[in-house]
Amino acid sequence: MTDTGERTLKAGIVGGTGYAGVELLRLLTAHPRVQLHCITSRGEEGRAVAELFPNLRGLLDLEFTAPSTQRLAECDLVFFATPHNVAMHAVPELLEAGTRVVDISADFRLRDPDLWARWYDEAHACPELLAQSIYGLPELNRQRIADARLVGCAGCYPTAIQLGFMPLLEQGLVDEQHLIASAASGASGAGKSAKVPMLLAEAGESFKAYGAGGHRHLPEIEQGLSDIAGGPAHATFVPHLIPMVRGIHASLYARLRDTGDSLDALQQLYERRFADEPFVDVMPPGTHPETRWVRGANHCRLAVHRPGDGDTLVVLSVIDNLVKGASGQAVQIMNIMFGLAETQGLEQPGLMP
């Protein structure tokens, strides 16, 4: 952890034109301890950021610039809000220059380079850094994040799923070999590039699963669940597209080892585990969380159910995929890395209606 005192942090963003990038801009412009030093985009070089994103007019006086290692190395921290395969080519030089990095893409989440290559169809450009990268889920790795030079921010689906299963796996209360996660995401989770399935006429008034035979978030989910359980854990993960802009709803299923554990005791377990977590909220018994309760906020809201007092526990988990699932979590990580209050710049509640 770097103690910055009252010094303002100089931050840079690589890839500022996508949904995660503009969300990062929205959050950082309101952060009292951050100065945005540069934001890169080859396609928008020379264009005012506020021209592309009018919601930032009067808040940010920057132009997009072409990526420059020299300029980025002037920053205390650089965020990568890019597709996979970008950060891994630029990060080694930034680390060598002493700049710390938070990567919101998938380049530094997996520790096994062979596993990364299998799921992303290419060799990793700097496999030696995978072992140094800290997995960016604060509720799991807060102490390690504090001293990290490189953090691979946890993905959106993996964040909702790992937080939902966390107390059960930490205590060994469920069968970690047969975990099930059925989760739905808004269309912003697919990124900003033009894709026919994301068109309103294609996705509207419809609901579908995708990646049921294997999704790139699965190895990250299983890596994280195994870390939490202290041994191998396996999950069946089926993602879905829901016709809304942002939000993730995950319905999680786990079989209890001891059916003598009461729902009240399990509710208390969750409340104790997350009592000191500023961004995880365990809802009262019987609650069914909605994605709109966390829209625009860096919160995960959880609810625990036990249908018919049977041997299966159901945990409902909701996050905003662009905030706690991406850019908000990245800001939370930055706060931890530089010894700031963890909630700084992230205090805003969800948007309703």
The catalytic residues are: 156
Structure-derived torsion over alpha carbons of residues 8, 14, 16, 20, reported in degrees to the nearest 10: -90
Contacts 24+ apart (CB under 8 A), 341-345: 342/138, 342/278, 343/278, 343/279, 344/31, 344/32, 344/33, 345/27, 345/28, 345/30, 345/31, 345/32, 345/33, 345/34
**Token pair in block for residue 87:** 């950060």
54: Cβ contacts below 8 Å, ≥ 6 apart = none
Phi then psi for residue 113, to 5 deg, are: -65, -30
For residue 145, give every residue at least 6 positions away whose Cβ sits within 8 Å of its Cβ, in sequence order, or none: 134, 136, 138, 151, 333, 336, 337
Q: In the numeric block, which tokens belong to residue 86?
A: 């970008």
